[in-house]
Amino acid sequence: MIPKSIPLRSKEMFQLAMRHRSATPKVQDSYERLEFFGDSVLGLVVAQYLYEHHPEWDQGMLSKAKSSVVQEGPLAETALKLGLDKYLELSMSEEATGGRLRPSILADVLEAIIGAIYLESGLENARWFVLEQLNPYLAMISTGDVSPNDHKSKLQEVAQSIWRKTPLYRVVSESGLAHNRRFRVEVLFDNEVMGVGEGRNKKEGEQAAAQDALAIIERAQSAERVRQQHEP
């Protein structure tokens, strides 16, 4: 059954968009090709929206804004909001390792849905769906904060203020097929790992690692504040 929030008529198309590569021996029976197509549709729709609604922004601002919306975090959050995790078709091993709630898979299926909507009913319906679902993120960047998810810049500022040092990033592993790669990235200070993250490309992996490091720093600072409050 297709959720009411998904403007698709074809049950077969919806099922295809929900089927992970691990659940079928044939790539054409998984969502991978739809996800590849939907990624391009998504990028086009968001780029056109930003171009039309922010004539005062230069190429750099437009690029940062687009990257803030078209990335794993917002897409995965949107997929969860739509309840797509309940419809995923995964292998037993992928299910056992938490694939149903893995951000990379959730982001992929949302892009697959976008591709399916385009193929079934055209660009305008796909555009309507994208803009409606991603409206909170588009509204956020419209305030001028074009990089609300730029954890790398935030970590750079924190590191400079605390240690007067710059974080370094390194890719520690790559996995997946050529068109569906996963990059695992570490962020280091003085050769000490402070955060680890994964993404569909190096940039997303670095952002995830920076976010992890920021969370660790915040927990340490909170613990220190509590300790100071309880000192005699």
Mind telling me the catalytic residues? 39, 111
Whose tokens are 């149903």? That residue is 100
Helix (H) or strand (E) holding 135: helix 135-142
Contacts of 174 (CB under 8 A, 6+ apart): 181, 182, 183, 184
β-sheet with 168-175: strand ranges across: 168-175, 182-189, 192-199
Contacts of 20 (CB under 8 A, 6+ apart): 30, 31, 88, 89, 90, 91, 94, 99, 105
